[in-house]
Amino acid sequence: MFSIFPSARLRPSPFFEATVTDGVTSFTTYNHMLMPTGFGKPEEEYWRIINGVSMWDVAVERQVQLKGPDAGKLAQILSPRDLSKCAVGQGKYVALCNHHGVLINDPILLKLADDLYWFSIADSNIWFWAQAVAAERGLNVEISEPDVSPLAVQGPKAEAVIASMFGDWVKELKYFWFKETEIEGIPVAVARSGWSKQGGFEIYLMDGSKGTQLWNMVKEAGKPWDIGPGNPNACERVESGLLSFGGDTDGQTNPYEVRMGKYVDLDVPDDVVGIQALRKIKADGPKRHQLGVRLEGSEPIMTAFHWFDIMQGNQKIGGMTNIVWSWRLKQNIGFALVSVDAKPGDAVQVIRDGKPVNGTLCELPFI
């Protein structure tokens, strides 16, 4: 691991100072911002998410705000998923695609009002994308990056923490639904969401000057449940089969290849970007699919800044897009993006540092 040299091209989050105080040791960059990736005790941080409650600086999940009379129209044009029944206060997971049906982001769409939407995005520039499509189609909508920064509270005890802060109404929130509120005068939206399968909430901070204050409020409220710092957890998300756009995808990946077909509605209007291409991809059948890989061996393998080739004999059938040591399964696991000819149960060889490691393909999720 190497150091990150400071530059204003990469921005800190409103929670940056608080995470430094709490002992952050490493970062990644995401949407031109720094995101914590560890606090020095990886196994403890993992079990905290599985058994307890963990708080995460996920301000890098930036919002692409669509505001104006054509906001809803643009949201639908950009999303190959039927949004006609999306209610104010509801969120939906969507597969943004380009005109060729290639996945370009997998955000949560939040409908705040009939003329106000947010795409809470993964790591790619959807501001430029939305601006280009809106301007070229002459839509009356303003696209911006508002002062909004999510803080995630994840784990089986997250609901108790959030209810103690905001009230029991949060227990009634359905998955991906949210409500705007405030706490000690700080404007926030509280959503039942988060990049884990252990349950939890995201608090969308709507005043970046209050990051440390909100962080410390959550930390204090969570004490009875032994809350501690964490971050989107590589091990948990792989065990749970959660996609990382840009990590598990490449420049040709379509939603059908990465288990997102159920979020594509082929009967949306013809003016939705990419829908014609997606209909054809669906009709022809995708060429690749996403599976799991279980590797032999009992030593943890470090992931890398690249995919690992997956071979069957002398034939490359695809790539292993991540590797983590699973503390629950006690083996190295990861995702495969491979030819549809490769099936769960198949033996494969994963090339690491030039040498093959034996593995077996399987269905996702692992747990």
Q: CA angle, corner 215, sides to 213 and 217, nearest 5?
A: 70
Please identify which residue in the block is written with the tokens 């501001």: 127
The answer to whether residue 181 forms part of the interface with its own copies (CB under 8 A) is: no
The answer to whether residue 322 forms part of the interface with its own copies (CB under 8 A) is: yes
Here's the x/- map for its own copies, 62-101, by CB under 8 A: it reads as: ------------------------------------xx--
The answer to whether residue 125 forms part of the interface with its own copies (CB under 8 A) is: yes
**Exactly one of 146, 187, 247, 300 binds its own copies (CB under 8 A); which one?**
247
Nearest CA to 131 out of 117, 143, 115 is that of 143
Query: Measured from the CB of residue 337, what is the shortest distance to its own copies in angstroms?
Result: 11
* Nearest residue (CB) to its own copies, 159 versus 236: 236
205's CB contacts (< 8 A; 6+ apart) are: 14, 59, 148, 149, 150, 151, 186, 188, 211, 214
* Nearest residue (CB) to its own copies, 184 versus 270: 270
- In one-letter notation, the amino acid at residue 192 is R
Cβ(25)–Cβ(124) below 8 Å: no
**Exactly one of 89, 115, 116, 137 binds its own copies (CB under 8 A); which one?**
137
* Nearest residue (CB) to its own copies, 138 versus 285: 138
**Exactly one of 47, 67, 133, 276 binds its own copies (CB under 8 A); which one?**
133
Distance (Å, whole) CA 230 – CA 288: 33
Please identify which residue in the block is written with the tokens 């983590």: 324
The answer to whether residue 3 forms part of the interface with its own copies (CB under 8 A) is: yes
The answer to whether residue 28 forms part of the interface with its own copies (CB under 8 A) is: yes
3-state secondary structure of 24: coil
* H/E run at residue 48: helix 42-51
Q: What is the dihedral of CA 125, 127, 131, 134, to 10 degrees?
A: 100
The answer to whether residue 240 forms part of the interface with its own copies (CB under 8 A) is: no
Half-sphere exposure for 45 (CA within 13 Å, toward CB): 21
Residues that bind its own copies (CB under 8 A): 1-12, 16, 24-30, 32, 34, 37-38, 98-99, 104, 123-126, 128-129, 131-133, 135-137, 144-145, 244, 246-248, 251, 273, 302-307, 321-322
